Amino acid sequence: MAVSVSTPIEVTAAGLDSLETPWLAIPFHEDDVTASLAVLDEASGGALSRARASGEARGRLYEVTVLPVVRHDWRIGRLALVGAGPRASCDAAVLRRVATTAALAARQRRVTRAAFLLRGIRGASAAWAGDLDAGEAAQAVAEGLTLSDFTIGSYKTGDPDPTPLEQLQLSLPGAASAVLRAVEERRRRGRRLGECTNHARALANEPGNSLTPREMAARAAAIVDQPRLRLDIFDEKRIAELGMGLLLGVARGSHEPPRLIVMQYAPEGAVTGPELGLVGKGVTVDTGGISIKPAENMDRMKDDMAGGAAVICAMRAIAALGAPIRVVGVVPATENMPGGQATRPGDVLRSACGKTVEVLNTDAEGRLILGDALWYAQQLGATHLVDVATLTGAVVVALGKLTAGLFGAPQPWVDTVRAAADRAGDRVWPMPLVPEYREQLKSEIADFSNTGGRPAGSVTAALFLQEFVENRPWAHLDIAGTAWSEEARPYQPKGPTGAAVRTLAELAFGPAGEWPA
Ligand code: BES
Ligand code: MN
Ligand code: ZN
pLDDT band of residue 272 (cuts 50, 70, 90) is confident
**Per-residue confidence at 175, pLDDT binned at 50, 70, 90?**
very high
Choice from 281, 360, 392 to test ligand 1 binding pocket (greatest atom count within 8 A of CB): 392
Q: Which domains does the chain have, with CATH numbers?
A: 9-202 (3.40.220.10), 226-514 (3.40.630.10)
Residues in the chain: 517
Please state the rounded mean pLDDT for residues 385-396.
98
Indicate if the pLDDT at residue 270 is higher than 80: no
Mean per-residue pLDDT over the chain, rounded: 96
Inter-CA distances, 340 with 145, 251, 300, 364, 424, Å: 48, 12, 24, 19, 44
- Position 517 scores a pLDDT of 86
Task: Please give the distance, rounded to the nearest whole angstrom, from the Cα atom of residue 124 to the centre of ligand 3.
Answer: 48
pLDDT of residue 82: 98
Tally of CB atoms within 10 A around 106 = 30
In this structure, are residues 118 and 124 in contact, taking their beta carbons and an 8 Å threshold? yes
Q: Which of 107, 119, 191, 367 is catalytic?
A: 367
Q: What is the pLDDT of residue 36?
A: 82
The verdict on whether 293 is a catalytic residue reads: yes
Asked whether 359 and 247 are in contact (CB, 8 A), the reply is no
pTM of the model: 0.98
Q: Would you call 96 a catalytic residue per the annotation? A: no
Averaged over 496-513, what is the pLDDT?
A: 95
pLDDT score of 161 more than 80: no
CA of 458 to the centre of ligand 1 (A): 9
For atom 8 of ligand 1, which residue has the closest CA? Answer: 480
Pocket test for ligand 1, best of 302, 334, 363 (most atoms within 8 A of CB): 363
Q: Which atom number of ligand 1 is nearest to the Cα of residue 484? A: 8
Query: Does the pLDDT of residue 159 top 90, yes or no?
Result: no
* Residue 442 φ then ψ, to 5°: -60, 140
In angstroms, what is the span from residue 392 Cα to ligand 1's centroid?
4
Residue 301 C-alpha to ligand 1 middle, in angstroms? 9
State pLDDT tens for residues 308-317.
999 999 999 9
Q: Is the peptide bond before 410 cis (omega within 30 degrees of 0)?
A: yes
pLDDT digits (tens, 9 = 90+) for 12-36: 999 999 999 999 999 999 999 877 8
Of the residues 122, 188, 238, 293, only one is catalytic, namely 293
